[in-house]
Structure 1
Amino acid sequence: MGRCCVPNCRGNYENGPKVRLFSFPREAKRRVEWQRAVRRSDVDVRLFKDPKVCERHFKSEHLRTTSTYTDCDGRTIEAPMKLTRLTPDAFPAIFPDCPSYISDSRMSREEPELKRKRTENELLQKAIHESQAAFQKEEKQYKVCNLRELISRVNERPNKKFWCTTACETCLIVAHIEAALQAPEMLVSVVVTEDLSVSVYFKCAPLVSDDVCIPDKVRDVRVLDNLLDSVERYCEKKARQQEDKVGGVLRLVLFLLDDICDDELHDDERADALIFLKEQCKLLTKKSSGVRYPARAFSF
């Protein structure tokens, strides 16, 4: 077991504290920095084969006790390290019980490049901690473990115009209901069961579409929000397609009526009836309510 070469330090000596030791850097520039920091009056540190400095002489920001990495979801994970390590810009700076020529003055200042690296490392560590705090806050705010928590979170969120929500002990149902000629009709529904499994139905049949990605389970309120938005867009697309289909049929009918009206083989009464039918079709093709019938359409 090695010993600390700093004057008056008892690190790893008999009856001294058991400490983690660090060898001088191999890089010439940093090695000179350490040699200037650890000056001894009795011997030249440069003559030592493998001089070491213990952890007691480094600032806390220069000691790494955890490691971090970012997973595929962009989350930064921090885990404790088995052994303490030094940051790349670390240098001996704390000398308790040492001679004044070490404690009071250092022959060299912290070089600009080392200072820049140290500052960047401090900013990086700060950003990592802030990111972890934000992630933990989001986890607490949006994650759910059971159906009861999901229902509670849904009730706390603003109501969506498109959806109606109902809940019971066994499931959560979010549905869109449309007015019909007779009874209201459930157009689409999203059902979350006790185990947080999800099913989506369109007109009472399971929804299968490349436009809607249906998760197996909902363990995050944001997942449910994204699903509802996706289903709503799907319904709007279907409605536009239906309008286009009806419009196409009406335009075909108008074309045929025009063709019949141009035929001189019908009497005046039939001609008036055809004109009325044409005006009806034109009215159906208009979205606005500003369409008016010509007086001739009411004369038969």
Structure 2
Amino acid sequence: MIANRFSIGLLGLAGLLFVAVLIYGGYLLTVMQLAMIYGIFCLGLNFFMGYTGQASFGQNAFACIGGYGSAILSVQYNWEPGLALLASMAVAGVAALLIGYPTLRLRGHYLAMATFALGLITYDITVQWTSLTQGYMGYAGIPPLGVGSFTVEDERMKLICLGLLLLFAFWISQRLRDSRFGRGLRAIAGSEDGASALGIRISRFKLIAFVIAALYASAAGSLFAHTVGFISPEVFGPQMVIVTFTMLYVGGVGTMIGPVIGAIVASLLPELFRSTGRFQDIAYALVLLVMLIYAPKGLSALGSLFRPRADKDEV
């Protein structure tokens, strides 16, 4: 009960922070916009890693498909941004289906290395296929999200729209988690042999979870493109894997609000240490290290530390 209240409190604090940034404006608006986008990405990553217990280091590949898909369709072919986003998600979903079917037969570090290679291959394609992706030059002039003549160009409106999309993505994730399918995924995370004994089709459930995570990643990549208006290979490179894993584990892998909390905290922490100058990265790393030591299950699990000892003994 205390842990649930603590999680709700964290979510409320994140909401207050959202409102404060919305009112204050400035550079923090951009930082919070990116936090909302990364929150959507981490929700999908958490679905595959947290609920299913699988390791994937290649979700940036699907974010890349979403980002470049939206950029190419909206800039070169004048598609509506919303339609380009949905079309890119469909392509990413099909790609995840085709790639996941043979790849998810691997387990442990073999699966992790295979998915990491997927991300590296996608990154190399964006660099080398200059006729399509424009290489390191990147894509500029990507239109903002909108419908018809109405476009969201005001920075505060962008943040509000991204916040609403994050809430929608969170709601879908929660519904899936609480469904029979979600319970099956958690059974797989606990024991694949036990889940198989219960009649759960392991390979099918893993593949569906992988596709869902890819759809979330693609949506995040498209939202980044339409929010910032520019993308380049570095945006979806290996650095994205490190950043999103940090966010997921800071917030709490396998929890509902962990990905959202982690995305916000990990996005704002570097700004808090910006005044330290050359020591910014060191201060940031020390804070993350302290979090991992004293909150190994993430910030959303801190509430369990305040439970009475009797409750802990019962558990």
Range into which the TM-score falls when normalised by the shorter chain: under 0.3
Larger radius of gyration: 1
Structure-2-length-normalised TM-score:
0.18
Larger helix proportion, structure 1 or 2? 2
Relative contact order, higher structure (CA 8 A, sep 6+): 2
Structure-1-length-normalised TM-score:
0.19
